Amino acid sequence: MQIEKIENKQLNEKYYKINHPSGLKIFVMPKEGYSSTYALFGTKYGSIDNCFRIVGEEEYTQVPEGIAHFLEHKLFESEDLDAFERYAKTGASANAFTSFDRTCYLFSCSGKFKENLEILLDFVQSPYFTKQTVEKEQGIIGQEIRMYKDVPSWEVLFNLLRAMYHNHPVAIDIAGTEESIAQIDDKLLYKCYETFYNLNNMALAVAGNVDVDEVVEIADRLLKTSKKQEVERVFKEEPAAIVERYVEEKLSVATPVFNLGFKETWNTPERTLKEEICADIILEIIAGNTSFLYKKLIDENLVNTSFSSEYFTGTGFAAMLFSGESSDPEAVAGKIKERIRYYKENGIGQEDFECARKKLYGRMIMSFNDIEFLADSLIKSEFMQEGLFDDIEVFKNLTVDDINNHLSKVLDEEYSALSVIYPTEEE
C-alpha cells in the first residue's frame, strides 16, 4: 500500500493520500487541536450520467432521469437497521447528497469515530434493493419532486438551465420527474450501483481529529476489492446557442427572484483549474460586494444583499450566473450586461485584478480552517485529477493578461438567458 504525505509549507498544512489495494483513493487530513471529525465517501456519479457503458460492453445503458439521486436514497436501507438508525446510536450527524456529477455520503462526529467510519464503509458497500422497497421510495421521492417545484431558488435555476441547454442533462432536475422515477426498478439500481460504485471510481476523505493509521486499519478490514473498470459516459451534442432568452414563472414570493446566465462552449468537456479561477476572479471584479456594479445596484434599490454570482461548471457544461432578488429583474440584467461590455471594451486593470486575486486567495486560505470544506475539496480535487494545494500555484502565477484573455472568451450576451420568478397575483 502506498501512503504519500502531501505538504504545503507555505500554509503549514498537510494531508495523506493512500492508494488502497481495494482500488479506493483515501485522503486523510489531521487537524491539530480539532475536537470533531468529518468524513465523506463519494463516487464520481451524478444526475447527468444517464447513458453509459463499461468499456468492453457492446451496448450502452440508458437509464431514467433521477436514478442517481434515487440510488442515494435507497443505499441507506438494509434488511435490518438503516444507516440513520445505526448513526443514531453513535451520536453522529449523517447525510448524503447527489449533485450533477457526484454522489457523497457523509458524517460528522466528536466521538466514536471508528464506529462511525465502520458504518459509512459498510452501508455504502452493501446495496439492498427489492421491488417492494423501490415502489415505496417512488412515492417518497415523488413528494420531494413536487415540494421542490414550490422552492423559488430551485425553480429559478432549473428554468434558467432549460432556457440555456438543448440536450445536456444538466437541464434535468437532479431528482428527475415523477414519470421518470416510475420507470426505476431494482435491476436498474443494481446496474448503476455495479457500474459507478466500483471503488476505483470512488474516494474517501476524512478531516479533523483523525489518525491515519486508524483509517487505514478500518479500510483494510472493511473495503471489498473492486475489479478496475473504465466507464464511458455519452452525452448528446450540445449546440452553442441557447434555447430562449427569457423565461418566467409565478410562485409564492414576496419579491421577484432572478437568475441571469451566460452559457459557455469549450473544446474540452471540463474546465481546467486555471480557467475556473480566472472565472471566479472575473465575477468578483464585475459583481463582488466591493464592485462598482454592486454598489450601484444597491444604491438604486434594484437588489439587496442576496445578490451574488458563481461559476457553474461540470462535465460538458459551464456558465457564469448572477442571481438575487429585485423589483425589476430586467433592469438588473441590463446593468450587468452594461458593466460586462465596459470591461470587455476597456479591459480589466492591474489594480482591480490584484484586489480580487488577494481577496479570493485570502478566502481560500481561511477555508483551510473548515474541515467540511477540506473533505469536500479533497474529493472534488481527486475527481478532477488535481491536488488540494494546486489552487495556490495557480493564484501565484496568474497575470492580468490571463484574466483579460479569459474575459474575451466568455460572458457573450448572445448566449445569455434570464429566468425570473414573480410573485403570484393576489386574488
Report pLDDT digits (tens) over 168-226: 999 999 999 999 999 999 999 999 999 999 999 999 999 999 999 999 999 999 999 98
Provide mean pLDDT across the span 6-28.
95
Q: Is residue 91 part of a domain?
A: yes
Q: Is residue 296 part of a domain?
A: yes
Q: Is 72 labeled as catalytic in the residue annotation?
A: yes
Provide mean pLDDT across the span 63-91.
91
Beta-carbon contacts of 284 under 8 Å, excluding residues fewer than 6 positions away, are 291, 356, 359, 360
C-alpha–C-alpha distance, residues 198 and 179, integer Å:
28
Kindly state whether residues 200 and 264 are assigned to the same domain: no
Kindly state whether residues 254 and 360 are assigned to the same domain: yes
Q: Is residue 406 part of a domain?
A: yes
Provide mean pLDDT across the span 85-106.
95
* 284 pLDDT more than 70: yes
DSSP lists the bridge partners of residue 207 as: 29, 38
How many CA atoms are closer than 13 Å to the CA of 167, on its beta-carbon side? Answer: 10
Report pLDDT digits (tens) over 333-369: 999 999 999 999 999 999 999 999 999 999 999 999 9
Kindly state whether residues 124 and 174 are assigned to the same domain: yes
Q: Is residue 238 part of a domain?
A: no
C-alpha–C-alpha distance, residues 82 and 348, integer Å:
54
Cell of 346: 476597456
What type of residue is 199? Answer: L
Q: Is residue 133 part of a domain?
A: yes
pLDDT band for position 79 (50/70/90)? confident
Q: What pTM was estimated for this model as a whole?
A: 0.94
Cβ neighbours of 254 (radius 10 Å): 8
Whether 246 contacts 418, CB under 8 Å: yes
Per the structure, how many domains does the chain have? 2
Task: Single out the catalytic residue among 72, 270, 284, 325.
Answer: 72
Cell of 57: 460492453
* 47 pLDDT more than 60: yes
For residue 80, the model assigns a pLDDT of 76
Kindly state whether residues 192 and 261 are assigned to the same domain: no
H or E element at residue 311 = strand 308-314
Q: Is residue 293 part of a domain?
A: yes
Kindly state whether residues 215 and 317 are assigned to the same domain: no
Kindly state whether residues 260 and 220 are assigned to the same domain: no
Kindly state whether residues 204 and 254 are assigned to the same domain: no
Q: Which of 233, 257, 292 is the last residue of a domain?
A: 233
Task: Assign residue 114 the CATH number of its domain.
Answer: 3.30.830.10
For residue 26, the model assigns a pLDDT of 98
Kindly state whether residues 197 and 265 are assigned to the same domain: no
pLDDT band for position 268 (50/70/90)? confident
Full residue range of the structural domain in which residue 379 is found: 246-423
Q: Which of 233, 262, 288 is the last residue of a domain?
A: 233
Q: Which of 209, 233, 257 is the last residue of a domain?
A: 233
Q: Is 344 helix (H, G, I), strand (E, B) or coil?
A: helix
Provide mean pLDDT across the span 71-82.
87
For residue 133, the model assigns a pLDDT of 87
Provide mean pLDDT across the span 114-128.
95
Kindly state whether residues 179 and 299 are assigned to the same domain: no
Cell of 327: 423589483
Q: Is residue 240 part of a domain?
A: no
How many CA atoms are closer than 13 Å to the CA of 260, on its beta-carbon side? Answer: 25
For residue 426, the model assigns a pLDDT of 57
Kindly state whether residues 334 and 251 are assigned to the same domain: yes
Cell of 418: 434570464
CA neighbor of 206 nearest in space, from 75, 118, 326 = 118
Kindly state whether residues 195 and 258 are assigned to the same domain: no
Kindly state whether residues 148 and 275 are assigned to the same domain: no
Q: Is residue 241 part of a domain?
A: no
For residue 427, the model assigns a pLDDT of 37
- The sign of the dihedral angle between the CA atoms of 401, 405, 407, 413 is positive
DSSP 121-173: HHHHT-----HHHHHHHHHHHHHHHHHHTT-HHHHHHHHHHHHH-SS-GGGS-
Work out the percent of the chain whose per-residue pLDDT is above 90: 92
Cell of 152: 423559488
Pairing state of beta strands 13-19 and 2-8? antiparallel
